[in-house]
Amino acid sequence: MIQQIVLYLVHMNTNQMINVTEDLCPVSDFRADTAAFITKIKSNRRPLVLTQHGKCAAVVISSESYQAMIEKMDLLEDITQGEADIAAGRIISHVKLKKQIMASFSK
């Protein structure tokens, strides 16, 4: 189940796939025209791979993409914890949980 969710989340926003002909940039070019590259990242919603000495050195993404990535990772961590709880038998029935919640409101 977790694998299906991971695949769904990865493919949820295919706009963020790296285009190797357009999204690779030497650090020196990025440094020379940072504002233009940031505008490009925001408009095409794809990461920019910065290279140094011909090798990948860093990946720059928009703040919106970063936030979405963090939210997806949080969701995956919650799902993973839930599956671990189920496997360990740390579960409660819906009826029992509802009774506990209702009892907490009546206090």
CATH hierarchy code of domain 2-105:
3.40.1620.10
Distance of CA 16 to the CA centre of its chain: 11
Structure letter (DSSP) for residue 8: H
pTM: 0.66
* pLDDT for the residue numbered 19: 82
* pLDDT for the residue numbered 14: 45
The CA distance from 42 to 39, in Å, is: 5
* pLDDT for the residue numbered 20: 77
- Splitting the chain (107 residues) into consecutive groups of 10 residues, what average pLDDT does each group show? 51 64 92 96 93 93 92 94 94 93 88
* pLDDT for the residue numbered 12: 52
Using alpha carbons, list the distances in angstroms from residue 51 to 20, 25, 33, 44, 62. Answer: 12, 6, 15, 19, 18
Q: Two tokens at 92?
A: 């409660």
